[in-house]
Amino acid sequence: MQRILVDQADITKTQVQEVASVALSKGQARMKIRRFALTANNVTYAASGFMIGYWHFFPTGIEGQGIVPVWGFAEVTESSSEVLEVGERLYGFWPMADELVITPQDMGGKTVLDASEHRAKLPVVYNRYTRSTEKTADLEGYQSLLQPLLATSYLLSDWLRDNSFFEAKQVIVGSASSKTGLGLCKFLAELEGQPVKIIGLTSSGNAAYVAAQSGADKVVTYDAIETLDKVPSVYVDMSGNAVVKQKLHAHLAEELRHSSAVGTSHWDQFQRKQELAGVKPQFFFAPSQIEKRRAEWGPGEIERQITAGWKRLAADASAWLDLKEHAGLEAVADVYGALATGQASARDGHVVSL
């Protein structure tokens, strides 16, 4: 089998490694990875691999080398499990590789859990897989790209409403050109009565794109942060850019009711410890909001709402997203490298087929 190793000390460095496939034990299934997306979200997984634990999902056994998780589809090519048959297809969380051995556990309905021992203490939302009968390349591509990102967007919107927007009058979405940022702006724009003003914060190069596609009430560029209205505000940070965060906190100071850290796509400008004016940033962990809603609403309801939400936004995805297909793991280095160094176009949605 082949896998992509990422240097944990410099996440821009990758290499393709050939390793022997492992034999199946009783109860296991071999999954051939067929299609997955590459986005800035994967860069966040690498940048926060130790802090949040993403390196632990698919251990390499090699010091300093990790595998970045991706979202996509895989097919059962060999099974010693009663849960999965050869030919079945699953959507979920995979390694940047061409295969994975899992220990499937039937969770009812279309849901399968990977009950592999090393994943037992990791967030269960990443260990759940969904049976799929959809093999159309474009639809699989859109789902691989948009379901995880827009699920986070939806959960952020739900979390903000759940907290009454922290009594703020405006929500500032950092890196609003990112698909998660764009999705959050879109979900907030759907809310009845416009409870808050939506501000899309982005680079000058992406300002026109965000203004045209996000539904934000106003677009502000990073070099114009000082023009933000000094009113009670929430900052949702998708990039982790320390300079931007410093400027925004300094400008809004006591008017900043909450500062949420979601992603670290600008990982090279991230600082773990900063002296900031106003409130201390807090990390938003989407699985926590899922588990909260599952407890409040019962199993399945938050998942139903997330699915309806991302599909609603994805219905017109061709207007704001250009699907880019790539063949083979050999294509990963260039695409991932462009994402990790901030050179990828905001409009492009990259999908790798194997």
Comparison of pLDDT for 63 and 283, the residue scoring more: 63
Contact 4/67 with Cβ under 8 angstroms?
A: yes
Do 114 and 223 sit in the same domain of this protein? no
* 65 within some domain: yes
Q: Residue type for 201, please?
A: L
Rounded mean pLDDT of 226-237?
A: 97
Claim to verify: residue 113 and residue 162 sit in the same structural domain: no
Name the range with the highest mean pLDDT among 99-103, 339-343, 344-348. 99-103
Q: Which domain holds residue 70?
A: 2-135+321-353
Q: Are residues 194 and 88 located together in one domain of the fold?
A: no
237 and 169, same structural domain? yes
pLDDT band at 267; cut points 50, 70, 90: very low
Q: What is the pLDDT of residues 311-341, one digit of tens each?
A: 999 998 988 999 999 999 999 999 999 998 8
Contacts of 209 (CB under 8 A, 6+ apart): 177, 202, 320, 346, 347
- Angle (CA) 186-192-262 rounded to 5° is 40
Rounded to whole angstroms, the Cα distance separating 151 from 91 reads 14
Q: How far apart are the first and last CA of the chain?
A: 12
The answer to whether residue 57 sits within a structural domain is yes
pLDDT digits 0-9 by tens, 72-95: 999 999 999 999 999 999 999 999
Answer yes or no: do 39 and 129 share one domain.
yes
CATH code, 63: 3.90.180.10
164 shares its domain with 215 = yes
Same domain, residue pair 113 and 186: no
CA distance 69 to 272: 22
pLDDT at 251 over 70: yes
Among 6-15, 37-46, 238-247, 274-283, the range scoring the smallest mean pLDDT is 274-283
Going by C-beta distance under 8 Å and a sequence separation of 6 or more, which residues neighbour residue 3? 16, 17, 19, 60, 67, 95, 96, 97, 98, 329
What is the percent of the chain with per-residue pLDDT over 90, rounded to a whole number? Answer: 78
Mean pLDDT within 289-306: 93
- Mean pLDDT across the chain: 92
40 domain-assigned: yes
In a domain, 301, yes or no: no
Measured at the CA of 149, the angle between CA 354 and CA 36, to 5 degrees, comes to: 5
Residue 260, pLDDT above cutoff 60: yes
Predicted confidence at residue 268, as pLDDT, reads: 38
Which residues sit opposite 72 in a β-bridge? Answer: 36, 92
Same structural domain, 17 and 105? yes
Residue 115: the pLDDT is 97
**Residues 6 or more apart in contact with residue 267 via CB below 8 angstroms:** 11, 43, 44, 46, 47, 240, 340
> Which CATH number goes with the domain that contains 211?
3.40.50.720
**Number of domains observed in the structure of the chain:** 2
CA 105 to chain CA centroid, Å, is: 25
* Structural domain includes residue 306: no
Give the residue-averaged pLDDT of 227-235. 97
Same domain assignment for residues 97 and 159: no
Of the residues 244, 271, 288, the one at which a domain ends = 288
104-150 pLDDT tens trace: 999 998 999 999 999 999 988 899 999 998 667 888 999 999 999 99
**pLDDT for position 263:** 57
| CA separation for the pair 265, 202 (Å, rounded) | 13
> Is residue 53 domain-resident?
yes
pLDDT of residue 264 exceeding 60, the answer is: no
Indicate the pTM of the whole model: 0.86
Q: Which residue has the higher pLDDT, 239 or 333?
A: 333
Cα dihedral 228→230→233→238 (10° resolution): 30
At position 344, the amino acid (one-letter code) is: A
Domain boundary among 246, 266, 288: 288
165 and 245 assigned to the same domain: yes
Sorted by sequence, the CB contacts under 8 Å of residue 354 that are 6+ apart come out as: 32, 33, 34, 35, 98, 327, 328, 329
Q: Do 118 and 170 fall within a single domain?
A: no
CB atoms within 10 A of CB 12: 17
In a domain, 349, yes or no: yes
Q: Are both 117 and 200 inside the same structural domain? A: no
pLDDT at 277: 72
Which of 266, 288, 310 is the last residue before a domain boundary?
288
Using CA atoms, how far apart are residues 39 and 342, in angstroms rounded to an integer?
Answer: 11
Please check whether residue 300 lies inside any domain of the structure. Answer: no
Q: Is 161 helix (H, G, I), strand (E, B) or coil?
A: helix
The average pLDDT across 195-207 equals: 96
